[in-house]
Amino acid sequence: MDYNLPAIIQGYAQGYFLMANDEKGGTSTLDWYMSRERALMPLDDRFRYPKSLRRVLNQNRFSVAINRNFDAVVEGCADRPTTWISPQLQQIYRQLHRARWAHSFETWQGDRLAGGVLGIAIGGAFIGESMFYRIPDGSKVALVRLVEYLRSRQFLVFDAQLMNPHLSRFGAYIVEMHHYRQLLHRAIGRRCTFDPQD
């Protein structure tokens, strides 16, 4: 099934995001959501991470890649007991990836995928959809290296969507929706490229 990708990107550009909800009978419905508050990952000196992770980074145990195995990152993000990434949403991500909107920022240990972040890039906004790991610290290293990468490419917004204790340890903060939409509008107007091959 082919989806209306311009309409989907327009939804994200207006501050909405897609999620699937499980219903009785094992089926799920996909719908647009908008929270009153939005969690943002700072791209300035407010970004921080634990000292223990600094040691891991200094050991260079992981290499990073962009879109090396997008499908595996989607599957990894969806592979959990309760997930909002339904098969339908996975298909949408894959179509957005083929259209150069959705990307995976990955960590690798040799030939083994260690972890990654799945997101959608629109102008200077990176909208983080999900993250996962298969090797301890794989997703944490991906997050740190992704922030560094977004800074280097002059991105303005790293949208983490919903706050949780894990993100707060890295300096994530909450903004009200009206402020988020102003930031998002400014970010989308920037001419940034996420994948160097584009």
9-55 per-position pLDDT tens digit: 999 999 999 999 865 445 678 999 888 899 999 999 999 998 889 99
pLDDT for 163 equals 86
Could you read off the pLDDT of 152-188 as tens digits, one per residue? Answer: 999 999 999 888 888 899 999 999 999 999 999 999 9
pLDDT for 24 equals 44
Banded pLDDT at 90 (limits 50, 70, 90): very high
Q: Counting Cβ atoms within 10 Å, is residue 27 exposed (0-12), middle (13-18) or buried (19+)?
A: exposed
In the predicted model, is pLDDT for residue 198 greater than 80? Answer: no
Report the Cα 11 to chain-centroid distance in Å. Answer: 16
Q: What domains are defined for the chain?
A: 5-188 (3.40.630.70)
State the amino acid at position 151 in one-letter form. Answer: R
Average pLDDT along the chain: 92
The Cα–Cα gap between 122 and 143 comes to 18
The Cα–Cα gap between 93 and 83 comes to 15
Express as a percent the part of the chain with pLDDT over 70.
96
The Cα–Cα gap between 131 and 148 comes to 17
pLDDT for 25 equals 45
The Cα–Cα gap between 22 and 20 comes to 7
pLDDT for 130 equals 95
Please choose, from the candidates 40, 189, 43, 66, the residue with its C-alpha nearest in 3D space to the C-alpha of residue 122: 189
Tell me which residue has tokens 């002059």: 154
Could you read off the pLDDT of 46-81 as tens digits, one per residue? Answer: 999 988 899 999 999 999 999 999 999 999 999 988
Give this prediction's pTM. 0.93
Banded pLDDT at 87 (limits 50, 70, 90): very high
pLDDT for 40 equals 97
